[in-house]
Structure 1
Amino acid sequence: MTDEPMPMPGLSSETVDAKSLLAANLEKPPSEQHLQSRMPNIKVFSGSSHPDLAQRIVDRLGIDLGKVVTKKFSNLETCVEIGESVRGEDVYIVQSGCGEINDNLMELLIMINACKIASASRVTAVIPCFPYARQDKKDKNGSSDKERHVEKWKSIEWKFRSRAPISAKLVANMLSVAGADHIITMDLHASQIQGFFDIPVDNLYAEPAVLKWIKENIVEWRNCIVVSPDAGGAKRVTSIADRLNVEFALIHKERKKANEVASMVLVGDVKDKVAILVDDMADTCGTICHAAEKLMEAGATKVYAILTHGIFSGPAISRINNACFEAVVVTNTIPQDGHMKDSTKVQCIDVSMMFAEAVRRTHNGESVSYLFSNQLLLDHFFIKIPLRLIRSFVCILRQNQELIFFYKFLLLYCLTGHNCVMTVRLLCCVLFCQRFSSVGQWFQEEGTSF
């Protein structure tokens, strides 16, 4: 018996070297190259709620979407079949809390359990819009805040206090019991929902993408004022206003009952300014439409609304069309294609890059906190350039020295998010460092002669 290593199947022992392995890898499609070299042992599956977002995420990761079949029996029970092995894999399941919420939630739970009992090493639920997030506490007077529910029985009045469930906690328990090891979501309606879980929760924020949209699409953003339509969003708008270096305002509202606004009081001066309403979600849009009217009455020149989760149920779209908005901007945590067709005012911000980067960092064991307040350096155009094309472009530039300066400027322009001032500053730093390094190299080579 010898201790010589066994040759790999299909290759002789002489050909098993670094060059042959590299050549064999380069012959594969780019998606397989990325999967083998950068993100091994990862599977991403999509539920029925938002397959477009899941596809965008895997496209940015350079991998293929996992195979899964979902169907319903005649009695409407949900059945899920995972179409490939997940043994020892790091599994991510993308399912948003939208559409048929109850069916989609049950589908997510079944998918988590199916992967867990199939020996997946870790299962992460990527839930862009967390379901039942508005039911995070017991209301003081029940679901109808200002109404008094009185039952008369034998001349005795019984005042019913709140018996509402804390459904967000129930959903958290269900996800944990199903086998989820980690949760990735965005802009929870209440941050304390993270405390309902006994597993890690990464609550991403749409704020970096919102800031980028404001600076790129609102010309008068330096003369704007960021407004919260309720007291609960004061912290959110304060953070955005501080980063824009502008003022903020607050609208205090009193509800008669659910989805009906009684009165609004504006705290702040919006006269002759562009008002930007910022909130985490909009359902029937009654609140933001009344807030827009209030702002215009107070002297605002224009009104924009920026929302993380655009649910837009019931009369929402008709209210938006009849309101005085310049634009209603939402992210694609919920599918927006139909809403954008029904209203020209609805615009969408793509946040798939943030989720893709969160998945990549989680898989590689890196910190995710950078994404909480920073926009990614690479934009969606640059990240989609194939690796082979970049290499070929660099080779051409090396042969043509006259284009190197232009190449550096273009690269820095992409990395800084199309910020010309920052690009010029970074380019000056790069040129200085190159000149400094060349001088140092000269001293290193010629210094011995002195």
Structure 2
Amino acid sequence: MAKNLNRLKLISLSANEKMTKEISEILGVEILPSHVTHFADGEMIFEGEKSFRGDNIYIIQSTCSPVTERLMEVLLCCDACKRASARSITLIMPYFGYARQDRKAKARQPISAKLVADLLTTAGANKIICTDLHASQIQGFFNIPVDDVSAMPLFYNYFSNLHLENVVCVSPDHGGVTRTSRLAAKMNAPIAIIDKRRPEPNKAEVIGIVGDIKDKTCIIVDDIADTAGTLCAAANKLKELGAKRVFAAITHGILSRDAVTKIQYSAIEKLVITDSIPLPLEKQIDKIEVLPLAPMMANIIKALELGTSLSEAHQNFEKPLFESNNNDDEE
């Protein structure tokens, strides 16, 4: 292990054990043993099994389903590290739960994303790394550094290897244009926008398409696929209006309820997601491709420890900024 990484330690909570192990192997650093137990009434207890004193701790945990349980794990782990005199506490949260509640959509609703930001800060987090936050302004809810890294370089590498022709990157709504434009710029492709209305949560109506998609290969770009109703409706509409092929690049595959069934019978040729949220075996189908975040996250952690550019680490994750003792981190 390089001298600069002597203080770097990882903690794996329940959501991303596989990712943490992969990051550990790429960096050649230790995963500190810890465990979570419960009282008879369900009250949670976190306990580290080795000293945290003076270490730069990286806690890796997406706050995915069960969201509140996973969030509580992070809070208790942060507090334990702080009280055990950790030198710094960085949260690697590929998926940030409660991000869809970033404003008061209706009267008498909370701004849950702000509340979660306050809780994480109070618990002791010094820095947070997320992937494709649902709303970028959530970074402003924190009084500590937050880096929102994009998964678009992973999607660009994947789709470039397919050698697709006549590509159009499609935003599922007007709010997603910035995210879609990132991939479109890398692929030197135009964009189209789906005009939709959302009468209630998890339900959307596709009104029409802004842009030329006839006889094109469409890639729908979004941050979250939850029940996949919006995604599948968009894909079917694109096909109905003359798209030749339809793919989807979605950072966080929540895939709740019957989402996988909808995808299986939709016009989507391939849904490409990251492993920010682990995909259970029963949801793994040929139409779904999962890209690992570990190589990119390992480079980001390394850059943080060395004080080098996060942008370079993010964009060039396939060209490591370090030599691994264990293996090549090529994706």
Q: Shorter chain as normaliser: what TM range?
A: over 0.9
1:219 aligns with 2:160: no
Are the aligned partners of 1:285 and 1:320 in contact in 2 as well (CA < 8 Å)? yes
Are the aligned partners of 2:295 and 2:318 in contact in 1 as well (CA < 8 Å)? no
Structure number with bigger Rg: 1
- The equivalent residue for 1:75 is 41
Mean Cα displacement is larger for which, 238-247 or 227-236? 238-247
- The equivalent residue for 2:11 is 45
- The equivalent residue for 2:146 is 201
1:191 aligns with 2:136: yes
If the length of structure 2 is used for normalisation, what is the TM-score?
0.95
Are the aligned partners of 1:225 and 1:273 in contact in 2 as well (CA < 8 Å)? yes
2:50 is aligned, of 84, 108, 131, to 84
- The equivalent residue for 1:319 is 262
Percent identical pairs in the alignment equals 38
- The equivalent residue for 1:61 is 27
- The equivalent residue for 2:300 is 358
Does the residue aligned with 1:325 lie in a helix, a strand or coil? coil
Does the residue aligned with 1:276 lie in a helix, a strand or coil? strand
Residues 1:339 and 1:349: Cα distance change in structure 2 (over 3 Å): farther
1:267 is aligned, of 210, 213, 217, to 210
Distance in 1 separating the partners of 2:145 and 2:85: 20
1:30-41 equivalences in 2 (<5 Å): 34=1, 37-41=3-7
2:175 is aligned, of 228, 232, 254, to 232
- The equivalent residue for 2:101 is 135
Residues 1:375 and 1:312: Cα distance change in structure 2 (over 3 Å): same
Residues 1:349 and 1:377: Cα distance change in structure 2 (over 3 Å): closer
RMSD: 2.0
Residues 1:258 and 1:386: Cα distance change in structure 2 (over 3 Å): closer
Distance in 2 separating the partners of 1:340 and 1:327: 14
Residues 1:281 and 1:254: Cα distance change in structure 2 (over 3 Å): same
| Cα deviation, residue 138, structure 1 | 1.1
Does the residue aligned with 1:227 lie in a helix, a strand or coil? strand
Are the aligned partners of 2:168 and 2:216 in contact in 1 as well (CA < 8 Å)? yes
| Cα deviation, residue 338, structure 1 | 2.3
- The equivalent residue for 1:95 is 61
Residues 1:329 and 1:192: Cα distance change in structure 2 (over 3 Å): same
1:321-340 equivalences in 2 (<5 Å): 321-338=264-281, 340=283
1:376 aligns with 2:320: no
Residues 1:76 and 1:353: Cα distance change in structure 2 (over 3 Å): same
1:404-443 equivalences in 2 (<5 Å): none
Distance in 2 separating the partners of 1:303 and 1:112: 42
- The equivalent residue for 1:177 is 122
Are the aligned partners of 1:228 and 1:237 in contact in 2 as well (CA < 8 Å)? yes
| Cα deviation, residue 40, structure 1 | 0.7
Q: How many residues align?
A: 330
Does the residue aligned with 1:174 lie in a helix, a strand or coil? helix
Residues 1:134 and 1:386: Cα distance change in structure 2 (over 3 Å): closer
Amino acid paired to 2:290: C
Distance in 2 separating the partners of 1:187 and 1:377: 19
Amino acid paired to 1:106: M
1:165 aligns with 2:91: no
Are the aligned partners of 1:204 and 1:371 in contact in 2 as well (CA < 8 Å)? no
Q: Which of the two has greater strand per residue?
A: 2
Are the aligned partners of 1:88 and 1:121 in contact in 2 as well (CA < 8 Å)? yes
1:102-117 equivalences in 2 (<5 Å): 102-117=68-83
Distance in 1 separating the partners of 2:318 and 2:295: 11
- The equivalent residue for 1:348 is 290
| Cα deviation, residue 385, structure 1 | 7.3
Distance in 2 separating the partners of 1:95 and 1:296: 37
Distance in 1 separating the partners of 2:318 and 2:226: 32
| Cα deviation, residue 276, structure 1 | 0.5
| Cα deviation, residue 231, structure 1 | 1.0
Q: Which of the two has greater helix per residue?
A: 1
| Cα deviation, residue 340, structure 1 | 4.8
Distance in 2 separating the partners of 1:185 and 1:39: 22
Q: Cα deviation per residue 1:189-216 (whole Å; 9 max; x = unaligned)?
A: 0000000000011111101111001101
- The equivalent residue for 1:367 is 309
| Cα deviation, residue 369, structure 1 | 2.2
RCO (CA 8 Å, sep 6+): is it higher in 1 or 2? 2
| Cα deviation, residue 337, structure 1 | 4.2
